[in-house]
Structure 1
Amino acid sequence: MINPKRLIELARKWQRMASTKRRRISYPRSFVADKGHFVVYTTDKKRFIVPLKYLSQNVFIELLRMSEEEFGLPTQGAITLPYDSTLLKYFISLVRGRMPAELEKALLTSISICHQLASCSLAQGQSHHQQTLIFGY
């Protein structure tokens, strides 16, 4: 049998531990990225950690513009890009390598055309599944 004094001491200790844990500020995983990186999600809920230097690339500028247009600016949460993870991996691989200006222009054109087609089909109320195509050479 536990001594009542010992039981009171344990209860106070647990209360102190619980109160210190409540004061701790913890950030959700989606907001935390390494220094020099930012976090984005795709429509299929995949998480990507992207270097900040990619923000100077026209491809990412366009992706973020479309994200803002489609989902709005996030106030409580991470940025969601309007593409699936496979396509974002492709974009990242192109940006990571040295992309020729012609390829960048073709990619930007195909991104905007596909986004416009998807927006038009949603506005007209079409419910069939539409695949995103990338035009290139």
Structure 2
Amino acid sequence: MKHIGSFGEYVTLSELLRRDIEAYPAILKNQEDYDITVIVSASKVVRLQVKTTELQNNSTNNSVKGTDKNYDFLVLVVIDNENVKFYVIPKKKVDDIRFNSVDLSVSRKNGSSYCVKNCFNDFENKWDLIK
């Protein structure tokens, strides 16, 4: 997919709005570390970093860069053929999963195809974490 990053950001924004969560694209010149701003309440704003990968792309671990930035939650968008899955992960957990690596490894090989690593399973569709 040629515009995978933009796709991930807009599909995430659409999913938030579909769930009646007020959200806006970040202004890149002012908010370099995150992609979407969520307005939780008059006194609470949450910053989302969005990273997108295609699961079946023959990459051994589908590493994503830039997860060491300053944000509140990572929304990992995983495209698996025609399916799109969302993993909503608190920044602290992202740091724990990434540990000392520069990149965040997303997948592992399972037979002849790839699957998302088990450490992400508890975060699938956890939109309630950002409220």
The two structures share one fold, judged by TM-score above 0.5: no
* TM-score (normalised: structure 2): 0.26
* TM-score (normalised: structure 1): 0.26
Q: Which has the higher helix share?
A: 1
